[in-house]
Amino acid sequence: MRDISHKLAFAHDGEAARYSDVFNPNDGQVQARVALGDRALLDRAVEAAKAAQPAWAAVNPQRRARVMFNFKALVEKNMDELAHLLSSEHGKVIADSRGDIQRGLEVIEFCCGIPHALKGEYTQGAGPGIDVYSMRQPIGIGAGITPFNFPAMIPLWMSGVAIATGNAFILKPSERDPSVPVRLGELFLEAGLPEGIFQVIQGDKEMVDAILDHPDIGAISFVGSSDIAHYVYKRGVDNGKRVQAMGGAKNHGIVMPDADLDQVVNDLSGAAFGSAGERCMALPVVVPVGEKTALALREKLIPAIQALRVGVSTDPEAHYGPVINAAHKAKIEDYIQMGVDEGAELVVDGRGFTLQGHEQGFFVGPTLFDQVKPTMRTYQEEIFGPVLQMVRAESFEDALALPSQHQYGNGVAIFTRNGHAAREFAARVNVGMVGINVPIPVPVAYHTFGGWKRSAFGDTNQHGMEGVKFWTKVKTITQRWPDGGASGDSAFVIPTMG
């Protein structure tokens, strides 16, 4: 059994006081253990970051971009290794793991253009002989706290922009699948990033609290459940830090009567069940508008769901693999039973699914509920598993109200051929990211990612120019170069440009 420690931060001294098991979700067996760090470990990481960051910030943006180019090439070169490592700890199929890494690399590609993104503003002649200009400078030391469901993409979303803008970055990944972030850190070093600029420290809540309280960490990015996101945001802000904390989701797919139902079913199969539903941008709620639409959609959905292939991560024919661990499997199955108890119609039951030869694996079969009501707890809460719920709406206005009034506001999609309906929906829906005939509306890397309501805490989104703003602070300079003549009377009033 291998040990996963903090080797990117510095040599791990001796035996750790606490360890956590890392499972192989395909067979339910412990394959590794991760050393859980403490405040003393974080202090050493911060000292390493403080020693390295000023020199890195002084490197010109073009040279920092070259490190990003090198890193991108190394990740692409090692894609197969990274994808298999990711699948072995998370459980998602290899193709999905490659997608996880590729979506992270797209932000690295954006970071390759960081010289342009860091350009400030300039006004010549703002006043008599006075020019005004601004510059963006790094925060100093940033930290990222990332979830288990995207062990490559989300660390890259955070670290890429933070590092490219001149910061040092300390990553605390999920202890459930910690190996890929460590490997990414090794590739950063190989790409030419100085030691101390990207460090991976392992840990649990004790480490999270240490990060939130550390006086030398200026900015924190978090992705996880909403309750923890709110906790991270409040504690971090109370300690004077800049914080972006992305929470949970309950994304809806609105199906209008004119939608192409074959395309909708194909899109729903991937968006609801891909990665076993363990995505904050999954589509776990479908809202057909009108009884005729609901009946026709249901008729097409049932055979499509029953045809989904659940398999081990390395099965190239599998649509999705196991969930992360036994506790999460039990939680999903408890929600399925809760839906039955609440009175929803269980159309396809994924409980009790086993795979021959992998009976101890953490598998959950695809599940479909119909006649789900907005008052049901299973609708109000995030299940985070391969469970699709159908909530019927009588009209466009009823369908619009469902995601708009939900506690979460991460993503939403509408399926229609009607441009007016799509435009109206996009303008009025109370959700941060909208897809029009796009089931998983994750913006491209040069735009920005972020939800509304309990899906996000903080004022700045991830990646794109919003990410650049989050990881930098603006300095504005007002300058005058005297021409050598008399300056006149001393000014005792506030200066103006009149």
Per-residue confidence band for 1, with pLDDT thresholds at 50, 70 and 90: low
In a domain, 65, yes or no: yes
pLDDT at 483: 80
Report the C-alpha dihedral over residues 300, 303, 304, 308, rounded to 10 degrees: 170
Query: Over the stretch 248-303, which tens digit does the pLDDT of each residue have?
Result: 999 999 999 999 999 999 999 999 999 999 999 999 999 999 999 999 999 999 99
Q: Rounded to 5 degrees, what angle do the CA atoms 190, 195, 197 make? A: 105
Per-residue confidence band for 13, with pLDDT thresholds at 50, 70 and 90: very low
Dist. CA 30–CA 91, nearest whole Å: 13
In a domain, 354, yes or no: yes
Nearest to residue 197, comparing CAs of 170, 175, 224, 172?
170
In a domain, 432, yes or no: yes
pLDDT above 70: residue 336: yes
Clarify whether residues 83 and 220 are in a common domain: yes
Query: Over the stretch 355-412, which tens digit does the pLDDT of each residue have?
Result: 999 999 999 999 999 999 999 999 999 999 999 999 999 999 999 999 999 999 999 9
pLDDT at 5: 64
Q: How many domains does the chain fold into?
A: 2
pLDDT at 498: 64
Query: Over the stretch 75-122, which tens digit does the pLDDT of each residue have?
Result: 999 999 999 999 999 999 999 999 999 999 999 999 999 999 999 999
Clarify whether residues 361 and 398 are in a common domain: yes
pLDDT at 482: 84
Clarify whether residues 428 and 405 are in a common domain: yes
Q: What are the φ and ψ backbone dihedral angles of 313, each rounded to 5 degrees?
A: -60, -30
Clarify whether residues 281 and 340 are in a common domain: yes
Nearest to residue 369, comparing CAs of 392, 344, 352, 351?
344
Per-residue confidence band for 12, with pLDDT thresholds at 50, 70 and 90: very low
Dist. CA 148–CA 93, nearest whole Å: 15
In a domain, 113, yes or no: yes
Which residue bears the tokens 């590794």?
32
pLDDT above 60: residue 137: yes
H or E, element range at 144:
strand 141-145
Clarify whether residues 16 and 77 are in a common domain: yes
The token pair at 49 is 């970051």
Mean pLDDT, residues 208-229? 98
Query: Over the stretch 424-464, which tens digit does the pLDDT of each residue have?
Result: 999 999 999 999 999 999 999 999 999 999 999 999 999 99
Dist. CA 324–CA 25, nearest whole Å: 6
Clarify whether residues 231 and 257 are in a common domain: no
Clarify whether residues 235 and 259 are in a common domain: no
pLDDT at 11: 38
pLDDT at 497: 66
pLDDT at 7: 55
CATH number at residue 327: 3.40.309.10
CB 15 within 8 A of CB 27: no
Mean pLDDT, residues 214-223? 98
Clarify whether residues 137 and 165 are in a common domain: yes
pLDDT above 70: residue 492: no
Catalytic, 280? Answer yes
In a domain, 497, yes or no: no
CATH number at residue 225: 3.40.605.10
Clarify whether residues 58 and 30 are in a common domain: yes
pLDDT at 267: 97
The pTM for the full model equals: 0.94
Q: How many CB atoms lie within 10 A of CB 241?
A: 22
CB 63 within 8 A of CB 50: no
H or E, element range at 43:
helix 39-58
Query: Over the stretch 150-208, which tens digit does the pLDDT of each residue have?
Result: 999 999 999 999 999 999 999 999 999 999 999 999 999 999 999 999 999 999 999 99
Clarify whether residues 340 and 461 are in a common domain: no
Q: Which of 280, 297, 376, 391 is catalytic?
A: 280
In a domain, 490, yes or no: no
- Expressed as residue numbers, the domain containing 201 is 2-247+455-477
Clarify whether residues 157 and 243 are in a common domain: yes
In a domain, 448, yes or no: no
In a domain, 168, yes or no: yes
Q: Rounded to 5 degrees, what angle do the CA atoms 277, 283, 287 make? A: 140
Clarify whether residues 233 and 329 are in a common domain: no
Nearest to residue 160, comparing CAs of 494, 468, 480, 497?
468
